[in-house]
């Protein structure tokens, strides 16, 4: 069974899916998998030769496929440091929104050199000259990927900001935040986008939107819960397969 489990894990199947396919319980799958993972850890070093994790230029077209490790090309980049030795900026494109209260979100962002370069190239102007804005989008129960939104508003950001407390926002609402530039023709071009974030309720429910979806989930009618889960799987290789 272990062999099958490993195979399916490698295909990216969840424990639940594997259990269904092998007609057994999730618990058994988990146990076998954990045991297997442990056995890997306990291997003496002689059996598992170390693979260089650095960027090593390999001879091209090395014939033997090594189904072992793909070393990352990118290790820690050298970064600018402040007086305490902390990085002042990570070479990253990220915008993350977190809940401070039912009426306030904290948003921080980082823009990589690549993105800045693209904007400068595309608009043929210096990065400093863009008007930077934050757009707050209410996406409660709609599909923003498809261009749906309940309402949006946006505001200009002062230069040199990399974080903002967005206030006020509405409780019990799902938001997506975008950092972008206002072009001279009046469009807002989003450059960074947050994952959806849900503001908590701050009063007792009158017309609840979760009763039904919780029930769907509870009775196993849906594969994924139909609400935003703030802690969701994140992968370093986010979009790389």
Partner 1 sequence: MRKGYFSLVLHAHLPYIRHEEAHRLEERWMYEAISETYIPLLWEVDRLSRPLGWTVSISPPVIEMLADPLIQERYIEHIEDTLRLINQELERDLDQKERDALMFYQDRYHDLLNTFLHWEKDLNRAFRHYKEQGYLDLITCTATHGFSPHMLSEQAARSEIQTGLNCFERHYGFRPSGLWMPECAYTPGLDRILYEEGIRYTFVDEHSILNADPSPAHGIGAPVYSPHGVALFPRDQIISGKIWSSVIGYPGHPDYREFYRDLAYDREWDQIAEFMHPEGLRYDTGLKLHRVTGETDQKDYYVRDWAWQRTSEHAADFAQALGEHLDTYQAQDFPPFLVTAPFDAELFGHWWFEGPDFLGKAMERLEDQEIESISPATFLERHFQDIDTVHVAMGTWGRKGYAEVWINERNDWMIRHLHQLEKRLAGVVARNRHQDALTVKAKRQLIREYLLAVSSDWPFILDGQTTAQYAANRFREHVLRFEETERRLDAEELTMEWLDDRYREYPFLQDTDIEPDVFLTAHDYYVAVKREKSWNTDAILLFVRQYDTSERPAENLAKRLAAAGENVYVVTEHAEAYRLQDGVHVYGVQVSGLPLVQTYNQLAALNLAFLRQAQALSKIVDFQVVHNFNMDTASAAQAFSKVKNIPLVSNVYDLESERSPDRSGGLVVAIKRLEGDALRHSSVVYLEREESRHGVEQEYHVEKKPLRFEENLEKPYQHVTNPKKNG
Residues 140-169 that bind partner 1 (CB under 8 A): 144-147, 149, 152, 163, 165
3, 11, 159, 223: which one contacts partner 1 (CB under 8 A)?
A: 11
Output the six-digit token pair for 10.
């490698």
Q: Which of residues 69-108 bind partner 1 (CB under 8 A)?
A: 69-76, 84-87, 90, 92-94, 96, 98-102, 106, 108
Binding track, positions 44-73, relative to partner 1; x by CB under 8 A: xx--xxxxxxxx-xx-xxx--xxxxxxxxx
Please list, in sequence order, all residues whose beta carbon lies within 8 angstroms of the beta carbon of residue 68, skipping any fewer than 6 positions away. 51
110, 127, 142, 157: which one contacts partner 1 (CB under 8 A)?
A: 110
> First-to-last CA distance in the chain?
26
CB of 138 to partner 1, least distance (A): 12
CB 154 within 8 A of CB 134: yes
Region for 26 from its dihedrals, namely left if φ exceeds 0, alpha if ψ lies in -120 to 50, beta otherwise: alpha
Cβ distance to partner 1 smaller for residue 24 or 30: 30
Cβ distance to partner 1 smaller for residue 1 or 163: 163
Output the six-digit token pair for 90.
């990570």
CB of 204 to partner 1, least distance (A): 6
- Asked whether the CA dihedral 238, 239, 240, 241 is positive or negative, the reply is positive
């Amino acid at each position: 069974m272990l062999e099958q489990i490993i195979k399916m894990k490698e295909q990216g199947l969840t424990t639940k899916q594997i259990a269904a396919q092998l007609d057994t319980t999730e618990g058994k799958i988990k146990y076998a998998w954990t045991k297997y993972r442990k056995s890997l850890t306990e291997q003496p070093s002689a059996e598992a030769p170390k693979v260089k994790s650095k960027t090593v230029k390999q001879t091209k077209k090395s014939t033997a496929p090594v189904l072992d490790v793909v070393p990352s090309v990118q290790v820690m980049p050298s970064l600018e440091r402040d007086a305490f030795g902390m990085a002042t900026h990570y070479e990253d494109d990220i915008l993350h929104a977190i809940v401070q209260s039912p009426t306030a979100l904290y948003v921080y962002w980082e823009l990589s050199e690549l993105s800045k370069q693209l904007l400068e190239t595309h608009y043929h102007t210096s990065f400093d000259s863009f008007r930077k804005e934050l757009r707050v989008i209410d996406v409660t129960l709609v599909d923003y990927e498809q261009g749906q939104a309940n309402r949006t508003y946006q505001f200009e950001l002062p230069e040199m900001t990399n974080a903002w407390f967005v206030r006020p926002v509405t409780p019990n609402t799902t938001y997506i935040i975008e950092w972008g530039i206002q072009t001279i023709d009046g469009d807002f071009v989003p450059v960074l986008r947050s994952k959806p974030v849900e503001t908590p309720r701050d009063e007792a429910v009158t017309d609840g939107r979760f009763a039904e979806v919780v029930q769907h989930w509870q009775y196993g009618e849906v594969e994924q819960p139909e609400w935003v889960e703030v802690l969701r799987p994140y992968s370093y290789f986010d979009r790389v397969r």
